Amino acid sequence: MFRDASASNKERMDAATWLADQGFGKTTVNVAAQAPGFGDFTIVIGDHDAMGNPINDLPRD
C-alpha cells in the first residue's frame, strides 16, 4: 500500500492505522480522565519572589 503510487492518502492512512493497531493494539478509553472533578485545580505561576517570599497574599478560607 505504501509503495503504490496510485493509492490515495486516505488508503495510506487506513493502512498505517491498521498496521499500528496490529502492532500496538487498539486504543482504549480512559474512564478515569472523564470522571467528574478530574482536573479541577488551579496552577499559580510566579506567586513568589526569588527569595521564596509570597508576592500576592491570597485570602485563605
pLDDT digits (tens, 9 = 90+) for 1-59: 567 788 888 988 898 888 888 887 777 766 566 666 666 677 777 777 778 787 776 66
Distance (Å) of CA 56 to CA 2, 15, 43, 60 = 58, 55, 14, 12
**In the prediction, which pLDDT does 47 show?**
74
C-alpha cell recorded at residue 4: 503504490
Taking the C-alpha atoms of residue 27 and residue 21, their distance in angstroms, rounded to an integer, is 8
